[in-house]
Chains A and B, each alone.
Chain A
Amino acid sequence: MRWFARRLVFYVFAIWVALTVNFLLPRLMPGSPIAGLLQHLSPAQLAANPGIVQTYEALLGGGHHSIWQDYVTYLHRIAHFNFGLSTSNYPTPVSEVIGRTLPYSIFLVGVAFILAFVIGTGIGMVAAWRRGGFTDSVVVPAFMTVSAFPAFVLALLGLYFLGLKAGWFPIQHAYDNDVIPAWSWTFVSSAFRHAQLPILAIIAAYTGGWVLNMRTVMVNTISEDYVGMAHAKGLHDRRVMTRYAGRNAILPPLNGFAAQFASAVGGLVFIEIVFSYPGVGYTLQSAVLGNDYPLAQGILVVLSVCVIVANLIMDVLNFVLDPRLRTA
């Protein structure tokens, strides 16, 4: 249990660092932070949003106090999920914009990343089991090659060949234009069809890493004595592979899951942009390009928290799978 308590303390600390980095970023840039923000804006933007100066002042914690006072005010506001108003969606609060877009992203990256993990570790396991076999000499290099391409390139390739040329998948947005988001069959099925291609792109981009990772660990596990013992007992080959070697080999990749998830969240930004998918990644890019700093900061905080929650879930799973941790 002490191990678990330590992890919890670490996550609280990580969230605090994420918040502090967020707070310091505009202040680290040379010059007055508020002037720096305002210089990005066109006169038309200033005229269209009368409250924009106040919004920025609020975002930076008031602007008239010492940096420490600002910092306390900032933490207090974030603790109440008050990220300020989005300047590009004025006067919608940032939390509302994020609440509208986050579910799409979580759905996309959640489904795709778990699929990539399952497929990748599965292939890695088989490849190590039969080294030099078909999986090892054809499937593994193929996944390695595909994964060398950045996520947005794979997304563009999928868009062009599978979406545009073959016409198998819809190529843009999260649902058909004439459908209203609601818990109805038409919406869910439409959303599902639109998610297929982005999910395929994420799987293509991230499976290769798992294949290599799992293969490496599995190759080492296979030569362990208990695997030889399982063979000697006359157990079925497949049972030795999955229950004996596989179950032990999956722990290191599982431990790396959280770090990989953080990078997948980054890849998601690109994939959403390629498919104009209205998730947080797409919103983040338009927020940064449109100088909507409250929204950009809010999304960064929320994404960091998402990654940390994923870490926490993995820790619990690890706790269940690895008996050694329970006694530590």
Chain B
Amino acid sequence: MAQLEPTALDLPLVAARRGINVGRIRVPGWLALLLRNRKSRTGLLIVAFMVVVALISPLISVAHPNDFNILATRQAPSWHHLFGTTDQGSDVFSQVVVGARRSLALGALAGALATVVAAVLGIAAAYVGGIVDEIVNLLTNVFLTIPAIPLLVVASGYLKTRGMWTMIAVIALVLWAFEARILRAQALTLKNRDFILAAKASGEPTWRVVFGELMPNMISRIAAAFVLVFYIALLVDSGLEFLGLGDQSATSWGVTIYWAQVNSTVLQGEWWPFMFPSLALGLTVLGLVLVLAGIDEVSNPRLRTERTERRSRLAALLGGKAFTR
């Protein structure tokens, strides 16, 4: 899967804890910081749009997404069928909006599960150090070396049922290593800070230092790592469904693309059954990538794109005040 991995997740979002009031609504500090950045603002808007679509999908989908209608098969997009119909005459628009529910939920839950595993293992290992750290680090590197997709393909081939929770567990088990590596590295930089040493010196037990001191101070980084695994899980899950290794009776973006591929609609010149769910998937991933890129920029100002130069060039083109910056 295409991966856009952030290199710097060291973000000072915790520092900006104080909220800002916009009119009557109080915006939490971290959100305000993200909304001020152009990339993460766009990303958050895209993701929020997809979530809203998923939530209100029963209201906007015209029919049951898998109802078939032999009289209306293979129709190009029109006002009646906004995204066209499939080979069975199902409405693609309904499949996409209803499918958003399962796709987003699966990605988010698998991401959340992987985050829990990675946070506990990675952070605890980094803090405890020694042989525990060596073992966790070794395990992480091994999981990063064995190609995830072929492993998932073979593993899901053995599964007797491919329900939602099974897929969540399998995907999380394979993906936790991506996060554990990042979180471990960051916990290593934190573990010798004064507040941790103070907690240790005052006789706090290890588990309390890890879960009471270290982890709360890494919450923003954990959140960023969650966004990363969220979209990887989204891609991986749709990919497995595309290969016919998901729950083929469910409605999700991957399943819709799978049927489009099985019925070789593309080769027959019907672009709509695969294009619309693909666009929804790509747009969501783009949104999440932009959120991550925004977080990166908030934390590392050097990464920001400088806009002033371009504006002045535009002004010069328009023949205006080119030299009055």
Contact = CB atoms under 8 A, between A and B. Distances in A.
Interface of A: 10-11, 13-14, 17-18, 21-22, 25-26, 29-30, 36, 131-133, 136-137, 144-145, 147-154, 156-157, 159-160, 164, 171, 205-206, 208-209, 212-213, 215-217, 219-220, 223, 252, 256, 258-260, 262-263, 265-267, 269-270, 273-274, 281, 284-285, 288-289, 291, 293, 296-297, 299-300, 303-304, 307-308, 311
A300 B154 contact: yes
A147 B292 CA distance: 14
Contacts of A296: 153-154, 157
Given A149-B278, A285-B243, A288-B154, A10 B3 contact: no
A94 B315 CA distance: 66
Given A160-B271, A269-B243, A26 B158 contact: yes
Main secondary structure of the interface of B (DSSP, over half): helix
25 contacts: A17-B142, A17-B146, A25-B155, A131-B306, A136-B305, A148-B282, A148-B286, A149-B282, A150-B2, A150-B238, A153-B281, A154-B2, A156-B257, A156-B266, A157-B278, A217-B7, A223-B302, A256-B5, A262-B147, A263-B147, A263-B148, A265-B147, A270-B239, A288-B157, A304-B150
Interface of B: 1-8, 138, 141-142, 144-151, 153-160, 235, 238-239, 242-245, 257, 261, 266-267, 269, 271, 274-275, 278, 281-283, 285-286, 289-290, 293, 296, 300, 302-303, 305-310
A219 B302 contact: yes
B103 to A, nearest CB: 12
A269 B148 CA distance: 11
B158 A263 contact: no
A10 B305 contact: no
Contact of B145 (A147, A149, A304): A304
Most-contacted residue by chain B among A22, A136, A156, A293 (CB, 10 A): A156
Contact of B303 (A160, A219, A288): A219
Nearest to B232: A263
Given A25-B154, A223-B302, A263-B148, A152 B242 contact: yes
B2 A206 contact: yes
B266 A14 contact: no
A137 B311 CA distance: 12
Contact of B245 (A145, A206, A288, A303): A288
A150 B4 contact: no
A299 B150 contact: yes
A217 B302 CA distance: 10
Given A148-B4, A150-B238, A267-B1, A36 B158 contact: yes
